[in-house]
Amino acid sequence: MNIQPYLTPYKYGKPVLSGSGLEGSYDYRAVDCPFVFQHNNKFYMMHVGFDGTGYQTALATSEDLLNWEHLAVILRRNEGFGWDSKNVAGTWIMKENSIDAPPTLKKWDNKYWLVYHAYPEFGYEEGSAKIGLAWTEDESLLEWHRLQEPILVPENGDDWEKGGLYKECLVEHEGTFYLFYNAKNTNTGRWIEQTGVAISTNLTDWRRYENNPVLKVSPDRWDAGFVSDPCVLLDGDQWVMYFFGYNYKKAQEGIALSKDLLEWEKYPEPIITVGNEGEIDSIFAHKPSVITHNGVLYHFYCSSRAHKEGDPTINWGTEYRTITVAASKDFF
């Protein structure tokens, strides 16, 4: 199993995006869940902000992938259709699949398509989340129209996903749509999170793959609790899935390979590990978004460490949660 072309061992070591720390702002407490893409000759990062009440989704822009500026909140609370009006976390916009091509957005039916999940209650992942879809014809990517009903709900799933669905990745390949998502078996106590896929030909009618989950936890290993947050890319005739594993102590990045998008082989060890004490990712290094630019792989991920005096944000009293990046080539 050759994973060498997909490795990003060089850490930037500091945030590329942090929350504002401004009370009333969508990102008052933290930013999370990066999704990086290219559009109209500019880089964009869709991400989720947490303000202490719930999640909302925003865009930031960059010229160089390291310096990011806030653009706009695009999915807000108190909009939508009730089921998605308290929390709305956008995680993927359909784009080109190839790992070595520019990560530009891809249209279907003359629209751009964004997939998100929404928790039913205020708070931090409160209740069983459902998956929704939004579209836009707006080239500025600021005005999104949500479908009225969710496209995937936990109540219709198997036992492994009854606790809620989230962190989606939407891939179109040869006229078929593959919606990867992670889900938890319960939302009380200590749960297990694994990754499955649903399949569609029209984006509204979805069939869960009969052999879900396609990525399972490995008992007593670094990914014993979670295998989550799929980022699926195509390299020639091989599919690559970046994901994170969690053993209820550390969250770290891993990789799996597939020939058909359905049967996946996990590499047994993490490919990005948590940093040393005090480093930006000393608690969590997780939630991948990977692109190539000028022949270099950029692996964006959510980083967490213990809060220090002077940090702009503090999440749940103890954590500084930001977005950082690692690459296949040294930054310095």
Confidence of residue 302 (pLDDT cuts 50, 70, 90): very high
Confidence of residue 323 (pLDDT cuts 50, 70, 90): very high
3-state class of 313 per DSSP?
A: coil
Q: Return the percentage of the chain with pLDDT > 90, whole number.
A: 96
- Tell me the mean pLDDT in the region 183-203: 95
Residue 290 pLDDT more than 90? yes
Residue 187: predicted pLDDT? 85
Confidence of residue 278 (pLDDT cuts 50, 70, 90): very high
User: From the CA atom positions of the chain, what is the Rg in Å?
Assistant: 18
Residue 125: predicted pLDDT? 84
Cα 164 from Cα 185, distance rounded (Å): 7
Residue 304, strand partner residues: 284, 321
Confidence of residue 123 (pLDDT cuts 50, 70, 90): confident
pLDDT digits (tens, 9 = 90+) for 22-53: 999 999 999 999 999 999 999 999 999 999 99
pTM beyond 0.95, yes or no:
yes
Q: For residue 268, is it left (φ>0), alpha (ψ between -120 and 50) or beta?
A: alpha
Residue 214 pLDDT more than 90? yes
Is residue 64 a contact partner of residue 41, using CB atoms and an 8 Å limit? no
- The alpha carbon of 8 is separated from its chain's Cα centroid by a whole number of angstroms, namely 18
Residue 229: predicted pLDDT? 98
Cα 125 from Cα 113, distance rounded (Å): 24
- Tell me the mean pLDDT in the region 118-133: 92
* 74, 292, 312, 26 alpha-carbon torsion, rounded to 10°: 10
B/e letters for 169-187, b = 16+ CB within 10 Å, e = fewer, are bbbbeeeebbbbbbbbbeb
